[in-house]
Structure 1
């Protein structure tokens, strides 16, 4: 009377094929690879998607974050030394542009897919909320500043980078559509320096003035980095950096260091409006020249600090608490720190501390704040779950 029921699964629709993850961006698991937990993705030399990590970029990120920490340690001391002020200005010309450029390079394949948005939320938005709250409470109670409010629209101290990175990545699909993304981003940055009415919401001045470096990173390809890593470029970078240090020493008493922070407009610094666009172009050119020299010196082989380079966000976000504690408690007021020997000591100390903060033990302790998994907060993709279940079953049969 009735037709025989078909075998289970015969009329089911086939599962969609797994997409290949993009470079530097976590994606679905590749075939025959069974996920075993977070420790599997955190092995040295391996990305979350199973692809081998490029040692060059981990090395570059580590060296850049060391320069960031050293620059912060120089701030309370540079007024007593023209040499240190000159070195500080040179480092601030390119260290954050290099960091932002690398962030843009690894955001090339970002789109508005659920997997990418989930990673953006857990890897950028949630850490921003956590550390914005933590820094505000640290300022309120450790510095006895009851007027410091917790506000997610006014980034405090180092959290501006997470806020900016969130916005930059959301705009990535737009930059992939326009014909001349870098010139357009430069025009936006130049216009931002003209007016002082943008305000401090989302630290918009920094967000817009650093935007060209992020957009440039989106447009770069691996061959561009191979180009600046040639032996001839490495040799030419020596006189370039030497010249930059001489110019920095000469300009130290003549130039307003605030330009390097890119957090104010030209009128906000008391300068004519037209100096904003001019300085934007000049600093972009100088930053790119020194960044190319910096990349030419970054080793491409695996070194003792390559694995540490994978945890630079930990060092960036955590070292600020020690830097602020030193400021609040007057540690930098010690007279011997304002001598050449003291400056060298603070430089080495800053490099050592930020290195320790990027290591695996520190990552394990603070992973809940910097890289929370938060699987409970998102809907599960049935197709992805079925695909992973089939992979596990296949692995058991193969074993």
Structure 2
């Protein structure tokens, strides 16, 4: 089956936003402009990635498929959780006492992704309307339970599950029918309204966008569910506002969208190094452009073929990259 360039283009753009958002995060407290940009990115970049992940999900209950899920997500999670714990131990004073299933900041995605595939076995038997309704209710309700947080990535699993479900139920035609001039104008209006809203209300706690905090920890009572519902609406609108602009053509950089999981898992090495030694500063426009270039450079490096063949045995538990390389050399 021929690869659809749209998805690789989308993955490349979104993983760049992930890296860029992590690079600028320490600088947001001292800059209103960076905080606006940071919050805008966090409204949609992970929801949009998760939606694409759901698009390619199967929801199979076959034992062989379930075993494959464990190999694909849980084993790499354990490996990278251990590696990052060791990395932070030697580069910071955080110590070694990190629970195995309290994921380091970016590794939650692997635990949640495995859980979404398992939940899909149940939800795929429902109608899309019923399944999505239940998923949204669960995503809203989990915020009222203080005990559910980052452990096992339970909070994020339920909060972001609706995006995974929407992706699963979307067809190719449904996804692409929005790519018209009319909807692109609407998308610009949506983006403008959201940006204006963030500028007018810049003190929105970022915890609302992470999906890992209870309403009590966000100093919100019963209104927390209503706020999360609004966040859901904004995230869906911004995700599709991005999709209508992503081209379906193959470009020179499109191929780098094939290995975005490698970027996601490995970019924390650079981010922690930058943060520990306070290497990134933005004081003018040239600094801002430099940060964009650095972020893009990290993405292209970690999505490159040499990194792929080097880390495939750890991330995918495969050596097909090495075998293909040896065949080409021979």
The question of a shared fold, defined as TM-score above 0.5 by the shorter chain, is answered with yes
Is 2:196 the counterpart of 1:251? no
Q: CA deviation at 1:133?
A: 0.9
Paired position in structure 1 for 2:324? none
- Work out whether residues 101 and 213 of structure 1, in 8 Å CA contact, stay in contact via their aligned partners in 2: yes
- Work out whether residues 80 and 338 of structure 1, in 8 Å CA contact, stay in contact via their aligned partners in 2: no
Taking a change above 3 Å as real, the CA distance of residues 77 and 319 of structure 1, as seen in their structure-2 partners, is same
Gaps of 5+ in 2: 321-330
- Work out whether residues 86 and 251 of structure 1, in 8 Å CA contact, stay in contact via their aligned partners in 2: no
**Cα separation, 2, equivalents of 1:365 and 1:113:** 31
**Cα separation, 2, equivalents of 1:243 and 1:146:** 44
**Cα separation, 2, equivalents of 1:339 and 1:264:** 34
TM value normalised by structure 2: 0.91
Aligned residue pairs: how many? 318
- Work out whether residues 74 and 347 of structure 1, in 8 Å CA contact, stay in contact via their aligned partners in 2: no
- Work out whether residues 262 and 303 of structure 2, in 8 Å CA contact, stay in contact via their aligned partners in 1: yes
Deviations 1:256-309 (A, max 9, x none): 12211111011012221x222112210111011111110011110111122111
TM value normalised by structure 1: 0.76
Is 2:162 the counterpart of 1:212? yes
Paired position in structure 2 for 1:241? 191
Paired position in structure 2 for 1:127? 76
**Cα separation, 2, equivalents of 1:138 and 1:351:** 23
SS of the equivalent of 1:100 reads helix
Structure with the largest fraction of helix: 2
Tell me which structure has the larger Cα radius of gyration.
Answer: 1
Deviations 1:297-338 (A, max 9, x none): 111011112211110000111111110111122224xxx534
Gaps of 5+ in 1: 1-50, 376-399
**Cα separation, 1, equivalents of 2:145 and 2:299:** 36
Paired position in structure 1 for 2:102? 154
- Work out whether residues 87 and 249 of structure 1, in 8 Å CA contact, stay in contact via their aligned partners in 2: no
Paired position in structure 2 for 1:97? 47
**Cα separation, 2, equivalents of 1:194 and 1:291:** 26
